[in-house]
């Protein structure tokens, strides 16, 4: 059956394993494994906080706690080939993170790598005082998402953790590599195998070079950057990704703004970024003019149908997120944008004057 939630382990799947590498720097394999089990368990359960944990590791090895933390951060190397698949997957199905880890440390890694927006939900063991493979932690995640066990699948590199998932009624995939994972996931998420020139996905660091090139092409053409968030003022793609993360999370949205999710439309054959589209999950006073959705297409890729294809790909995500209709607007006289909205089911509502720049806008609703 099609799945409604794909759950990812972090260390050993999204990132390299860290604790085993670090302990084996100092101890023979068997002793390293024994010490790791004894010292990591209380930190993963949240019985001790991050400060005490790294102090204990420092005492064990004679290193300063700050240096131990720095070493652990350096050992966390992202699985770069997985990130585009993770973004593509999330464009078609909710994705969760379920990891055994000291929360403060993992949050540092997630922030550094701009990965908060890669997941719809996350549970870190030390924050809930439960660890994998206890079936209770899987059930907690299912409860938070409102998903039945048979509607989820767990991706982990640890067979023991998959056994815990199975006891909670969740199918499992033992991760050994990206090609194997794609093959294993496709029966659960058929959209991964659907033909198509491009895919809608959440941007991540793998798209950095294309984000810069996209921005420069829009600047060179004198084009507006609708649906691009803060891209005009952010020369660094990493700073822009940080802004996207802040806008995505309700607890970090600036005052006066609404939560939004940024997507990019990427050609499968060469990874070229064709367009950007932003979904705003609520309407404030200004967005009653601008609408739920803004989008743009790379100047050199216009008049090829990408705007409509990108919008069509986004609409099911709007519905999955709880919206029953979305508002879009276009400037009066922008016939290309008007045709795009109409092609995706837009129904004319009214023409208004946008207060910030005095633009005349046509507003359309699309029922989902």
Burial 132-156 (b: 16+ CB within 10 A, else e): bbbbebbbbbbeebebebebbbbbb
114-168 pLDDT per residue, tens: 888 788 899 999 999 999 999 999 999 999 999 999 999 999 999 999 999 999 9
> Rounded to an integer, what distance in angstroms lies between the CA atom of residue 87 and that of residue 288?
29
CA-derived radius of gyration, the chain: 22
Cα gap 250→264, rounded to integer Å: 21
Q: What's the pLDDT at 133?
A: 97
Structure tokens at 197: 């020139």
Summarised one tens digit per residue, pLDDT across range 55-64 is 999 999 999 9
Q: Which residues pair with 78 in a beta bridge?
A: 15
Over its length of 368 residues, how does the chain's per-residue pLDDT go in tens digits? 689 999 999 999 999 999 999 999 999 999 999 999 999 999 999 999 999 999 999 999 999 999 999 999 999 999 988 888 888 788 778 899 999 999 999 999 998 888 887 888 999 999 999 999 999 999 999 999 999 999 999 999 999 999 999 999 999 999 999 999 999 999 998 878 776 788 888 888 889 999 999 999 999 999 989 999 999 999 999 999 999 988 988 888 988 899 999 999 999 878 899 999 999 999 999 899 999 999 999 999 999 999 999 999 999 889 888 899 999 999 999 999 999 999 999 999 999 998 888 889 999 999 99
Contacts of 142 (CB under 8 A, 6+ apart): 5, 148, 149, 152, 168, 170
pLDDT (0 to 100) of residue 291: 95
- State residue 92's pLDDT score: 79
In the block, residue with structure tokens 């949205």 = 253
**Token pair in block for residue 122:** 């996350």
Give the chain's end-to-end CA distance (angstroms, integer): 23
The pTM score is 0.76
* Count of other CB atoms within 10 angstroms of residue 205: 17
Tokens 């799945």 — which residue? 3
3-state SS class at 51: helix
Residue bearing tokens 């706690």: 65
CB 194 within 8 A of CB 268: no
Residue 106 CA to residue 162 CA, distance in Å, equals 21
The answer to whether 121 and 4 have CB atoms below 8 angstroms apart is: no
């Amino acid at each position: 059956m099609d799945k409604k939630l794909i759950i990812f382990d972090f260390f050993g799947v999204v990132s390299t394993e860290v604790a085993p590498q670090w302990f084996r720097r100092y101890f023979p394999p068997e002793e390293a494994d024994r010490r790791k089990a004894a010292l990591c368990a209380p930190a993963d359960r949240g019985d001790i906080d991050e400060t005490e944990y790294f102090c204990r590791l420092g005492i064990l090895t004679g290193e300063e706690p700050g240096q131990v933390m720095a070493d652990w951060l350096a050992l966390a190397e992202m699985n770069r080939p997985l990130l585009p698949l993770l973004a593509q997957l999330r464009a078609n199905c909710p994705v969760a993170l379920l990891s055994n880890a000291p929360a403060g440390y993992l949050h540092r890694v997630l922030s550094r790598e701009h990965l908060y927006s890669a997941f719809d939900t996350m549970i870190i063991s030390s924050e809930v005082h439960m660890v994998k493979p206890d079936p209770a932690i899987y059930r907690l995640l299912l409860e938070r998402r409102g998903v039945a066990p048979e509607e989820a699948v767990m991706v982990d590199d640890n067979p023991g953790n998959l056994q815990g998932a199975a006891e909670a009624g969740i199918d499992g995939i033992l991760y050994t590599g990206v090609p194997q994972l794609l093959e294993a996931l496709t029966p659960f998420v058929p959209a991964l195998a659907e033909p198509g020139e491009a895919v809608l996905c959440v941007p991540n660091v793998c798209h950095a070079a294309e984000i810069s090139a996209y921005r420069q092409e829009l600047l060179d053409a004198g084009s507006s950057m609708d649906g691009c968030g803060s891209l005009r003022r952010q020369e660094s793609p990493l700073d822009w990704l940080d802004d996207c993360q802040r806008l995505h999370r309700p607890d970090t949205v600036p005052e006066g703004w609404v939560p939004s999710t940024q997507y990019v439309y990427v050609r499968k054959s060469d990874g070229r970024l064709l367009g950007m589209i932003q979904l705003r999950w609520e309407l404030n006073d200004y967005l009653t003019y601008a609408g739920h959705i803004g989008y743009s297409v790379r100047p050199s890729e216009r008049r090829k149908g990408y705007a409509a294809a990108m919008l069509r790909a986004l609409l099911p995500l709007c519905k999955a997120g709880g919206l029953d209709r979305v508002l879009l607007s276009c400037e009066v006289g922008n016939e290309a944008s008007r045709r795009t909205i109409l092609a995706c089911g837009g129904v004319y509502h009214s023409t208004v004057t946008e207060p910030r720049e005095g633009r005349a806008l046509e507003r359309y609703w699309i029922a989902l």
